[in-house]
Structure 1
């Protein structure tokens, strides 16, 4: 039994060990060299900037970078050796060189800063063969990229040309084509056997375009270099056209970050305004920026509308409460006045000041003792009833006006949102108040909904809700329930 347990544990351990390579992060290694301060050749003003900017760009997209500037022959050999060791079994490797390079007898050479090239011997021993770089790249198991911004004028043409009459070798301009190997991408700053420009800015035209495009996520390497070709061609007015030699069996992406489409797909339904603002800042030229700004506007408007609605809701609730109290008191006074008048008409004595509650600030009527007093009292009671009915009618009008005011506030809010135009509702006059008040419910004002306190309340969605539904329709986030509400809004 113990042996079986140990065997199962061993199988589980082996399974975990086999799974580790699959889960490991992709290894990417790059060698970047920029030579500028040449001692026996014209200095190059921007190659150091080219190398430093390229190294920074590659680090940002996940490369472990070996870099050096203004290297002599020994320094170039040292960084190339270190790079070759790191490149072993790497998933992707890249070599970038900015400086003097030339072709000799159909083979390409990179020039260290102290090199003095006078003859065939010095070419072999004072420069770095590009073939040695290819050998280092081939230690990797994955994609191999070689970028050469070294197609400047051959600074040693005059010296080597003197030997050409007596020796069988040729000196060409620019770089010679490099034999293409499986899984390799070779990018030249200009076409083979041609000369590239140094550029007047911080970088050469080629490196400036390459650094710019590496910052764009989700570009397949072939697409990336084609875009670089177009930028360089336009920048130089057609005088320089980079060349690309590609032999890949699959796709490869230098910048594996999320694209704007990937990020937008993840946050398009989010209400996180910070994430949407970060998207706009990160991808200012994205096709989805307009949608992001629209959604930001929706969220901000919804927030403002929510705060405004809460404030208006509290304000109208308080006004409705006070109005209801006044309506209830007016209704009690009207009922009492009608009862007093009915008792006077039937010959019964009306309630005395002690028996009948009086409105604040009113004088209690005196008890009539003669026929004239009795007539005067009846006229007074009839007048009081008329006043109570007029007061109740005025309060009902105020109630209707409050309802219209609330609807007007919602219309104004929708107009501020700028997404909905609501046709004005005709103002209806309050109906005449009957002498006998309609039966009222026993619920208090606090228990009643605001919609029960207002007249002419529509069952259609509110203006603010319609505005939000229309904005959601613009963003393509409308549901089946929203579609029904949208029909009512229209």
Structure 2
């Protein structure tokens, strides 16, 4: 008779321990939600195979330097240089796998880009020696396709294009220099290295004038993207003696800061 209360106490303690173990096991097995990250896709094409597309000494430097800055700003950065058409596809596939946890997406491209019939194209390094529009765009990347793939109403998308070069197939009714304005998607910001229809220079230094100005301002604490672009525009215009005036189009739904701590800029 004296053992019964003791056995009941032991049984209660045993069931309690088993219950705690079950709760602990469930907590361990349940996957922890991944924190949202800001994703950056940074591309620079310098070494083109076609004789019609001049070598761009700074494009790959621009991509590498900006990648370093964005990593310091806690972006998850994917970097590609001298991308063929297959290289573009592989890089975009890697980025697509990260979109589910991305709170914002930044896309930067330095290299040859053209507008044809009012549509913009980014040129891979394996672009053929084009004699006509069809050959030029056969392996090119449509900018509108990139925007459609990565832009979303639910997150901010930023596209920076240092790609407004001379058109390699010459002038014509449907051919023009530089890049054309785009139809931005919802919550999207697009910045060009110069105004629509104008061309850019690669620059005599380690980086192009536009990327130089971008690098000088992107890490300033507490600077909104709107204020940053004003600085980038003014500094690029100064560096090019007025030849380039960066241009942007925006449909953002709220302000964006590259630095996560939005401290007022003392300047």
TM-score bucket of the superposed structures, by smaller chain:
0.7 to 0.9
Does the 8 Å contact 2:133/2:169 carry over to 1? no
The one of 150, 159, 167 aligned to 1:137? 150
Q: Write the distance in 2 (CA, Å) between the matches of 1:198 and 1:175.
A: 15
Residues 41-92 of structure 1 show CA distances to partners (whole Å, capped at 9, x for unaligned) of: 1000111110000111111111111111111111111112222232235210
8 Å CA contact 1:48–1:69 kept in 2: the answer is: yes
2:82 is the alignment partner of 1:70: yes
> Alignment partner of 1:100: what SS?
strand
Q: How does 1:33-432 map to 2 (within 5 A)?
A: 33-40=43-50, 41-88=53-100, 90-116=102-128, 117-138=130-151, 141-157=154-170, 170-257=174-261, 259=263, 286=266
Give the distance between the partners of 2:100 and 2:143, measured in 1 at CA.
19
Equivalent in the alignment of 1:32: 42
Q: Is the 8 A contact 1:219 1:253 kept in 2?
A: yes
- Residue 260 of structure 1: how far off its partner (Å): 6.5
Q: For residues 28 and 55 of structure 1, what CA distance do their matches in structure 2 show?
A: 13
Deviations 1:136-193 (A, max 9, x none): 2125831000000001112232xxx5xx6xxxx6111100111022200100000011
CA shift in 2, pair 1:105/1:258, >3 Å: closer
- Give the Cα–Cα distance (whole angstroms) in 2 for the partners of residues 26 and 228 of structure 1: 28
Say if 1:94 and 1:137, in contact at 8 Å, map to a contact too.
no
Measured in 1, the distance between the counterparts of 2:239 and 2:137 equals 36
Compared CA separation, residues 89 and 179, structure 1 to 2 (3 A): farther
1:236, distance to aligned residue in structure 2 (A): 1.6
Please give the secondary structure, in 2, of the residue aligned with 1:115. Answer: coil
The CA distance in 2 between the partners of 1:178 and 1:236, in whole Å, is 24
Please list every run of 5 or more consecutive structure 2 residues that lacks an aligned counterpart in the other structure.
Answer: 1-18
* 1:257 CA displacement: 3.4
User: Using the alignment, how far apart are the partners of 1:112 and 1:60 within structure 2?
Assistant: 28
Aligned partners of 1:151 and 1:124: how far apart in 2? 16
**Distance across 1 between alignment mates of 2:247 and 2:61:** 22
> Considering only aligned residues, what root-mean-square deviation do their CA atoms show, in Å?
2.5
Alignment correspondent of 1:359 = none
Unaligned runs of 5+ residues in structure 1 are 1-5, 262-285, 288-490
- Deviations, residues 87-121 of structure 1 (Å, cap 9, x unaligned): 23521001000000000111111111120122233
Partner residue, 1:454: none
- Following superposition, the deviation at residue 133 of structure 1 comes to 1.1
Q: Give the distance between the partners of 1:236 and 1:200, measured in 2 at CA.
A: 11
Distance 1:258 1:53 in 2: 23
Give the helix-richer structure, 1 or 2: 1
**Whole-Å Cα distance in 2 between the matches of residues 118 and 86 of structure 1?**
38
Following the alignment from structure 1 to structure 2, what is the Cα–Cα distance between the partners of residues 251 and 138?
Answer: 16
Is contact 2:115-2:121 (8 Å) kept?
yes
Count of aligned pairs between the two proteins:
240
Q: What is the CA–CA distance in structure 2 between the aligned matches of 1:141 and 1:63, rounded to whole Å?
A: 18
CA distance in 1, matches of 2:92, 2:205: 29
Which protein has the larger Cα radius of gyration, Structure 1 or Structure 2? 1
